[in-house]
Amino acid sequence: MEQQTNKNLFYFLLFLAMAGWGGSWVNAKVLSNYINEYELIFFRNIFTLVTLAPVLVYMKKYFVISKKSLGLVILASVVMIVYMKCYFLGTKYGTASLGGSLVTSLIPINTFIIMALFFGKKIERKHIFALFLGALGVMTILDVWSFSIEQIFSIDNLYFLSASVLWALLTIISSRSTNTSPMVFTFYMYVITTIIVMIFFLDVTTIAYEKFDSIFWLNILSLAIVSTTFATSIYFVGIEKLGANEVSSFIFLVPFFAIILSVIFLGEHISYSIIIGTILTLSAVKILNNIKIIRKAKTKIV
């Protein structure tokens, strides 16, 4: 009974973690009124590092990293900077609901395609159907059936599509690091990303700190602590405790949290095309990754 209670508690924490990831799109939209993309990276990373380091110490995740992993971290950091730029600017010029639904549902599909094209991942008949379903879902989210070419390939849509490809690349790069804990890998990625941004893109002395009000601090802390430190930690611990396949089913909640929270906090209008397209795309993700939403097997959490 106690084990089942612990399992249910962990499911609840995963539920909150997915809400945090969905809410990050709302945070970015609000923060775009205060800072640029490099300032966002700087502030988010600083608060993430300060809160993530104690978590790693508590979980006894040692900070040792191999030379191979360090090289991958540097590469991942560069990709992360470009991703964050697309993520931020797409949300700034577009809507948080569109970004949250399109990018998060498209990332697993892009990851599968890249693995199939460049790493020899086997493509079965069901995968072809899933890719077709995913393409149909993406086109529905973008509402290609009613928009003009200019609207379909608008700047925000291009940023979002680029972000989905970049995060897929980031996923593949980080998966190549086999001797380092994913959380430690992520920690060093934030360290190096911050250093690169401060050297090449940002002078912290020119930031207009005086215009930061309580709304700014609430959103930047939510983005760093809730959406990054908390959500990432729970996700990786979930993989260790429950297994990757079971935890991956919770990812399906992220687009819907992004949509719901965008309506509540930003007053965005959500079209039926976004909802239907998201469902189609997530169905494709389920098929591609053999994800089972309902599982009969009992899993212990010790």
Other CB atoms closer than 10 Å to residue 52's CB: what's the count? Answer: 24
What's the pLDDT score for residue 82?
Answer: 98
Instruction: Write the pLDDT tens digit of every residue in 100-136.
Output: 988 988 888 888 889 888 888 788 888 888 888 888 8
Of 259, 219, 232, nearest to 40 (Cα)? 219
User: Residues 77, 192: contact at Cβ < 8 Å?
Assistant: yes
Distance CA 63, CA 187 (A): 9
The number of angstroms, rounded, from the C-alpha of 285 to the middle of its chain's C-alpha atoms is: 15
What's the pLDDT score for residue 186?
Answer: 94
Distance CA 51, CA 229 (A): 7
The number of angstroms, rounded, from the C-alpha of 135 to the middle of its chain's C-alpha atoms is: 20
User: Which one-letter DSSP state was computed for residue 153?
Assistant: T
Q: What end-to-end distance do the CA atoms of the chain give, in Å?
A: 12
Instruction: Write the pLDDT tens digit of every residue in 55-82.
Output: 999 988 888 888 899 999 999 999 999 9
Residue 285's alpha-carbon distances to 185, 289, 293, in angstroms, are 26, 6, 12
Please, which pLDDT band fits residue 94 given cuts at 50, 70 and 90?
very high
Domain ranges of the chain: 2-288
Distance CA 237, CA 230 (A): 11
Please, which pLDDT band fits residue 302 given cuts at 50, 70 and 90?
very low
User: Residues 133, 284: contact at Cβ < 8 Å?
Assistant: yes
Instruction: Write the pLDDT tens digit of every residue in 113-122.
Output: 898 888 887 8
Is a pLDDT exceeding 60 seen at residue 179? yes
Instruction: Indicate the helix (H) or strand (E) that contains 43.
Output: helix 37-58
